[in-house]
Amino acid sequence: MPQTDFLDERPVTQLKGVGAKVAEKLQRLGIHTISDVLFHLPYRYEDRSKVVAIGSLERGGSAVFEGRVELSEVTFRGRRTLLVRLSDDTGFVTLRFFHFSLSQKEALQRGQWLRCFGEARALRKARGLEIIHPEYQLIDEQDRGKINHGVLPVYPVTEGLRQASLRKLAKQAISLANEGGQLLECLPSSVLRENDWPSLNNCLMKLHQPGKMPATGLLDQFAFKRLVFEELLANHLSLSRLKKVTQQHPAPVFDKGERLQQDFLRSLGFSLTAAQQRVIAEIRQDVQRNAPMQRLLQGDVGSGKTVVAACAALYAVSSGYQVALMAPTELLAEQHFKVFSDWLQPLGVYVAWLVGKHKGKTYQSITNQISKGQANVIIGTQALFQDKVSFAKLGLVIIDEQHRFGVQQRIALRDKADSAQMPHQLVMTATPIPRTLAMLGYADLDLSIIDELPPGRTAVTTSVVSVVKRDNVISRIEQGVKNGRQVYWVCTLIEESEVLQCQAAEDAAKLLQQSMPNARVGLIHGRLSADEKQKMMTDFKQNKLDVLVATTVIEVGVDVPNASLMVIENAERLGLAQLHQLRGRVGRGVKESHCVLLYQPPLSKNANERLSVLRQTTDGFKIAEEDMKLRGPGELLGKRQAGFLRFKIADMTRDAKMLPAVELAAEQILQESPEVVEVLARRWLSNLVDYALV
Ligand code: ADP
Ligand code: MG
């Protein structure tokens, strides 16, 4: 390594404005060095370079606009709200504030001009557009149009760190880079030559300060491609290394449990599908060797992965080892706890669970059972591994719904075992991933696929309906409820703001209750406590509720076989994988099920085609394939990649073409300059988990 001014080695505290306190917050984003600031990439941009006429504001778009206050009033429908109606000469728009001060209200007098920035949403009754909590400033009429901001990057932030601070830090870091601060070049020179890529500094600068709003063409830019390449490379190298290192550890041998498994399978009310049997056999082979199993179990929603996990658990328990099962939400953890208890307790297996709500004495007693080895199977959320929980004899780790977790968590889990022996690991996901992609995204794992659903499932029929016909849909629900059906109503805003999403769900619940006074309507969203969520879910499961209005918290795993109707709002704004995942919550029982995808008109041609895919098939693999084909180039940076390994900028489906070259480069690096693996991993993976929370 040449000795120069390496930004990789300079602590972030060398930047202006970063004291101990800020540094601590930055750490939460995985930022320790100046180079980390540069690799903390924006996930979208805001165009503040021009003022948009109110009449040409687009739904879903963020823009700067200016207008005169026409009307300002406080309403009390539902909750206290300040509504401000603005107009320029091209149209009207409504600003909506749920939190506001008296002085704020008074400043917004009729006739006052404002400059605002925010995302326009459509009002329910098509009364035009509205903006919730826009940024705004009071301006004089003669200052209209005088703005001097350019295009601003938007970064993942954390509590107590504002967008503005991150922008300042990025600016400083870029100046340093331009003044000769260096970043270690990790790519082999042959790769650089072949592609004629610009320098790393240059590429990073283009992403942080794009100058003008990056259009769809961004993806074709060298700067972008180069960074995507590096990110894929970083992943591939880290995972390959992980696999190699893991395989060098001995693992426990599970060679007992046949009898117990037979008893278990006999106690089930069904027989395994051929695919389940095949996959169980693959796992059986793995755990009989004394090297750690590292297996990815992939099977569409409802394909029956849980039974497979239970069999694996029985092997471990029969050989005297503990099993830890990690679920992405408390809701799912509790559901697994119930299922595993029902299945395994009668066989003499002790099942425990540990989640955030277990505190004080309860917590103590559970962790004691774990550390003394009394608990055989322990189910929990991430908390299971972050807290100071020690296992007496951990032999198998099962991770459910892997797409919700990052690579880092996979690594952390493995660290939990004592170093002499590595536990076997089974990772489960409902995300259909083409095999070639899986090899890269999960290069540390072997792949098993359940490619068949249990018999007797009724296919879910799907229709695509304009929100204009919402009333029809509601009367259909009402009819369904009368016939004993249970219904999910899913509110999906794809904003970063959880608050808004919850707000939308609250509104929807109110509306539904008003329209159907006789129906029992429940509400579940991310801001409820774990207990409240659990209670809602249990009530729904026990048929004490007819309609469950929910945010996407119900996306993973929940199993309520009687629910047979699902309505998804704003369906056009979600990825197909996520819609498929959501839809998988119905069609689990014997009732014929139906899913209604509500969209806000007008529906673009592409959106129409995408939604049609869901109408035509329920096959997760097909959906993934079509999704890849129909993916618009407009979906750029850090789009929520629900259903896949999360990257900062790479996108497995979009960037699949690069994989062969990435693999070649990886081999070359491992031979010629293995020391850069560490640097690449730090740059690209160290804050991956936090990106997952954006
Ligand atoms: P997922 O793969 O989405 O996790 P689950 O394991 O929750 O699916 O299984 C969905 C439902 O199907 C559960 O109620 C489960 O008991 C049931 N099931 C699993 N395997 C079979 C089978 N072979 N035959 C019938 N029902 C099954
Ligand atoms: Mg599951």
Assigned token pair, 684: 């690209």
308 lines ligand 1 (CB under 6 A): no
Residues 126-135 have pLDDT tens digits of 567 889 889 8
Determine the distance separating the centroid of ligand 2 and the alpha carbon of 270, expressed in angstroms: 17
What is the residue with the minimal CA distance to atom 15 of ligand 1?
304
Q: Return the pLDDT at 637.
A: 36
> Could you please report the per-residue DSSP string of 402-457?
GGGS-HHHHHHHHHTS-TTSPPEEEEEE-----HHHHHHHTTTSEEEEE--PPTTP
Q: What are phi and psi of 388, to 5 degrees?
A: -85, 65
Determine the distance separating the centroid of ligand 1 and the alpha carbon of 303, expressed in angstroms: 6
Question: Residue 582 falls within a domain, yes or no?
Answer: yes
The answer to whether the beta carbons of residues 60 and 604 sit under 8 Å apart is no
Question: Residue 264 falls within a domain, yes or no?
Answer: yes
Q: Return the pLDDT at 266.
A: 96
Same domain, 289 and 374: yes
Alpha-carbon distances, residue 482 vs 471, 476, 519 (angstroms):
17, 10, 8
CB atoms within 10 A of CB 306: 18
51 secondary structure, DSSP code: B
Q: Return the pLDDT at 356.
A: 83
Q: Return the pLDDT at 440.
A: 61
- Please state, for a pLDDT cut of 70, what percent of the chain lies above it: 87
Residue type present at position 138: L
| Crossing angle of the two packed helices 258-267 and 330-344, in degrees rounded to 10 | 100
Same domain, 81 and 181: no
Alpha-carbon distances, residue 221 vs 112, 153, 203, 459, 550 (angstroms):
43, 17, 9, 43, 40
Q: Give the three-class secondary structure for 27.
A: helix
Mean pLDDT of 403-408: 59
Question: Residue 401 falls within a domain, yes or no?
Answer: yes
| Closest ligand 1 atom to 450 CA | 2
Mean pLDDT rounded to a whole number for the chain: 85
Mean pLDDT of 209-216: 73
How far apart are the C-alpha atoms of 21 and 272, rounded to whole Å?
Answer: 55
Residues 142-186 have pLDDT tens digits of 999 888 778 888 888 877 888 889 999 999 999 999 888 888 889
Q: Return the pLDDT at 383.
A: 77
- Of 411, 429, 450, the residue that ends a domain is 450
307 lines ligand 1 (CB under 6 A): yes
Assigned token pair, 279: 């996959």
Determine the distance separating the centroid of ligand 2 and the alpha carbon of 557, expressed in angstroms: 5
Question: Residue 369 falls within a domain, yes or no?
Answer: yes
Q: What is the CATH number of the domain that holds 102?
A: 2.40.50.140
Same domain, 33 and 63: no
Assigned token pair, 52: 């948009």
| Crossing angle of the two packed helices 274-288 and 305-318, in degrees rounded to 10 | 30
Residues 48-67 have pLDDT tens digits of 888 999 998 887 778 899 99
**Residue 498 — pLDDT band, cuts 50, 70, 90?**
low
Residues 499-549 have pLDDT tens digits of 677 778 888 999 999 999 999 999 998 788 878 888 898 899 999 999 999
Residue 438: pLDDT over 70: no
Residue whose tokens read 């491609």: 225
Residues 329-339 have pLDDT tens digits of 888 898 899 99
What is the residue with the minimal CA distance to atom 23 of ligand 1?
272
What is the residue with the minimal CA distance to atom 18 of ligand 1?
304
Q: Return the pLDDT at 210.
A: 83
**Residue 384 — pLDDT band, cuts 50, 70, 90?**
confident
Residues 102-121 have pLDDT tens digits of 999 999 999 999 999 988 87
Cβ neighbours of residue 367 under 8 Å, at least 6 residues apart?
354, 387, 388, 389, 390
Residue type present at position 12: V
Determine the distance separating the centroid of ligand 2 and the alpha carbon of 260, expressed in angstroms: 22
How far apart are the C-alpha atoms of 211 and 485, rounded to whole Å?
Answer: 54
Residue 237: pLDDT over 90: no
Question: Residue 1 falls within a domain, yes or no?
Answer: no
Mean pLDDT of 390-419: 72
The answer to whether the beta carbons of residues 333 and 355 sit under 8 Å apart is yes
Would you say the pTM of this structure is higher than 0.75? no
Same domain, 181 and 206: yes
Same domain, 469 and 606: yes
Question: Residue 253 falls within a domain, yes or no?
Answer: no
Determine the distance separating the centroid of ligand 2 and the alpha carbon of 528, expressed in angstroms: 23
Same domain, 471 and 590: yes
Alpha-carbon distances, residue 465 vs 246, 476, 569, 598 (angstroms):
50, 13, 10, 5
Same domain, 373 and 397: yes
Cα distance between the two ends of the chain: 35
- Please state, for a pLDDT cut of 90, what percent of the chain lies above it: 44
Same domain, 465 and 506: yes
Buried b (16+ CB within 10 A) or exposed e, 24-61: ebbebbbbbbbbbbbbbbbbebbbbeebbebeebeebe
ω into residue 432 within 30 of 0, thus cis? no
Residues 537-562 have pLDDT tens digits of 889 999 999 999 998 777 666 778 88
Which of 271, 273, 450, 559 has most ligand 1 atoms within 8 Å of its beta carbon, as the pocket-test mutant? 559
Question: Which of 203-212, 466-475, 618-627 is the least confident region?
Answer: 618-627
Residue 587: pLDDT over 60: yes
Q: Which domain holds residue 424?
A: 258-450
Residues 332-376 have pLDDT tens digits of 898 899 999 999 999 999 999 998 888 899 999 999 999 999 999
Same domain, 87 and 32: no
Same domain, 143 and 161: no
Same domain, 446 and 477: no
- Of 127, 148, 169, the residue that ends a domain is 148
Q: What is the CATH number of the domain that holds 332?
A: 3.40.50.300
Same domain, 287 and 370: yes
| Closest ligand 1 atom to 400 CA | 4
Assigned token pair, 104: 């704020």
Question: Residue 233 falls within a domain, yes or no?
Answer: no
Residues 443-496 have pLDDT tens digits of 778 889 898 888 877 778 999 999 999 999 999 999 999 999 999 999 876 555
More confident residue, 94 or 160: 94
**CA nearest neighbour of 685 among 338, 116, 239, 185:** 239
Residues 414-436 have pLDDT tens digits of 666 556 788 999 989 877 666 65
Q: Return the pLDDT at 591.
A: 81
Cβ neighbours of residue 462 under 8 Å, at least 6 residues apart?
583, 594, 595, 596, 597, 614, 615, 618
**CA nearest neighbour of 490 among 544, 557, 566:** 566
Number of domains in the chain: 4
585 lines ligand 1 (CB under 6 A): no
Question: Residue 231 falls within a domain, yes or no?
Answer: no
**Across-strand partners of 83?**
73, 96
- Of 401, 423, 450, the residue that ends a domain is 450
589 lines ligand 1 (CB under 6 A): no
